[in-house]
Amino acid sequence: MKKIIQTDKAPAAVGPYSQAVEINGTLYISGQVPLIPETGTKVEGGILEQTEQVMKNIGKILEEAGYAFEDVVKSTCLLSDMANFKAMNEVYASYYPENQPARAAFAVKELPLGVLIEIETIAVK
């Protein structure tokens, strides 16, 4: 049976979806954008600051569901511009110092709210 994961320590969904869904020991985290949970506003700064906020948001959802970054098996990174790939990677790598998850990274035409990055995550226990 699926369980909906919701925490006020991460941004509320900006559409008809859940922050995360857990089923059969697998956690599916919806794409997270760099919003500050307390205000719902986009974090100031460029790709480094935005990636850091996205990873913090993912961390809070993982925590709420009883998972950790070590449980992440797959990430999908969506970038508004591939020129930001290297800088995004620097921040992303700091959250996965070993046993990195599988990952895909794409440049897309636009992202919600005019952000530079969105990351969706899958974790397994």
Q: Which domains does the chain have, with CATH numbers?
A: 3-124 (3.30.1330.40)
pLDDT over 90 at 6, yes or no: yes
Section 37-65 average pLDDT? 97
From residue 87, alpha-carbon distances to 14, 49, 66 in Å are 26, 10, 29
Does residue 14 have a pLDDT over 90? no
Q: Is residue 19 pLDDT above 90, yes or no?
A: yes
Average pLDDT, the chain: 96
Going by C-beta distance under 8 Å and a sequence separation of 6 or more, which residues neighbour residue 88? 47, 51, 77, 79, 105, 117
Task: Give the chain as a DSSP string.
Answer: --EEE--TTSPPPSSSS-SEEEETTEEEEEEE-SB-TTT-PBPSSSHHHHHHHHHHHHHHHHHHHT--GGGEEEEEEEES-GGGHHHHHHHHHHH-SSSPPEEEEEE-S--GGG-SEEEEEEEE-
Token digits of residue 18: 């859940």
At 16, the amino acid letter reads P
- pLDDT tens, 76-113? 999 999 999 999 999 999 999 999 999 999 999 999 99
